[in-house]
Structure 1
């Protein structure tokens, strides 16, 4: 079965130690280097095996006119000035950035598929299986995996290429997702990607 990888929110404001968003990785979290290394290995394996990588980002206009502030998460984004379009914070973390020609999708809600063109980008690859990774596990990863499952894709959540600022939320999210997706490690994804295209 053809596959694609969704690499979500590997952006400076979300992943960099100087970023403004703290739902994904705590500023002083020693797990940060492991997460970056795992995500880099996953992306490299996808590229090496011809698995398309779709980079998913979140970004808002500088005045946040396009940010629906109906929940605490997005109110905080606007209050802190995070992921403003055109800013360093909205850019991809340098070690996990797309290469020229790789698909990039921008979304503005919790669900990365919501009015973003992500499903169209996935369908263009012909993939029936989606590897999902990113930050935060209990936000974009969980929303994305659930929606992908509802769309009929076979979903694998790559646990060690995901994280949250609180370990118990990461674990709880993965436990919930285990009923809808395969919860695997990067080494499993790397092995599965060989010969999928």
Structure 2
């Protein structure tokens, strides 16, 4: 009861077809950390660099910003550290290897440039006193960042991941975290991507194997 819920066959189906584990599990809040990843204006807001991808619409459909904000507030109330992971690049993307279409698209769109509106966190998910901020330049929150240093310093091994995009940064972060030995949890209603189809495919065919797929209400309830 004090650890992470067992990864078992999904026990419920969300309105979007997402398979989720049964609620009613208990988590030890002193072992948990919450990641809010890539919830930046360029990523999920109208007027952002990737608005034409459908990302803002799916974020609204998921109510992902409000759901993640509610989870963050609950986490702070239980002493669970909130870690904001932001994709931040310097003008011209120096140091970002152009070895994949995603990174090429980032440079072409001049997205997430430090100090710009696009790089800023979305309204409602700003870091507050006591939160941690980790910067990255890859899809995974672990790659080339200080995330693991922060988690080890805090003594946390159950990692709850929220944010965008489900089938990219969220999935990469969950996969790597599982490989590193962390218990990964993904409340899918606090995550979004470009379309419901992509989201559900990632949740049902990839994340099921590396994380406990759940929802915000169940995580909040698990902290008692």
Using structure 2 for the length normalisation, give the TM-score. Answer: 0.82
1:64 and 1:180 mapped to 2: Cα distance? 31
- 1:14 aligns to 2:43 (yes or no): yes
Question: Do structure 1's residue 145 and structure 2's residue 174 form an aligned pair?
Answer: yes
Q: Give the C-alpha shift of residue 32 in structure 1.
A: 4.9
Distance 1:164 1:186 in 2: 17
Is 1:191–2:221 an aligned residue pair? yes
Q: Who is 2:120 aligned against? A: 91
**Cα distance in 2, alignment partners of residues 156 and 29 from structure 1:** 21
Q: 1:99 to 1:80 in 2, by over 3 A?
A: same
By how many angstroms is 1:68 displaced?
A: 1.1
Task: Find the residue that maps to 1:121 and give its secondary structure.
Answer: helix
Contact 2:37–2:86 under 8 Å retained in 1: yes
Structure 1: runs of 5 or more not aligned: none
Does the Cα contact within 8 Å between 2:59 and 2:191 map onto a contact in 1? Answer: no
Query: Could you tell me which residue of structure 2 aligns to residue 181 of structure 1?
Result: 211
Name structure 2 gaps, 5 residues minimum: 1-27
Given that residues 24 and 164 in structure 1 are in contact (C-alpha distance below 8 angstroms), is that contact kept between their aligned partners in structure 2?
Answer: no
Task: State the match for 1:36 in structure 2.
Answer: 65
The verdict on how the C-alpha distance between 1:28 and 1:147 changes in structure 2, with shifts beyond 3 A counting, is: closer
C-alpha distance in 2 between matches for 1:68 and 1:34: 33
1:145 alignment partner, SS class: helix
Instruction: Find 2:161's aligned residue among 129, 132, 135.
Output: 132
Q: 1:72 to 1:30 in 2, by over 3 A?
A: closer
Tell me how far apart the structure 2 counterparts of residues 29 and 3 of structure 1 sit (CA, whole Å).
28
Other structure's SS at 1:120 match: helix
Post-superposition offset of 1:193: 2.5
| 2:103 alignment counterpart | 74
Task: Tell me if 1:110 matches 2:110.
Answer: no
When residues 26 and 90 of structure 1 are mapped into structure 2, their CA distance, relative to the original with a 3 A threshold, is same
Shift of 1:22: 4.4
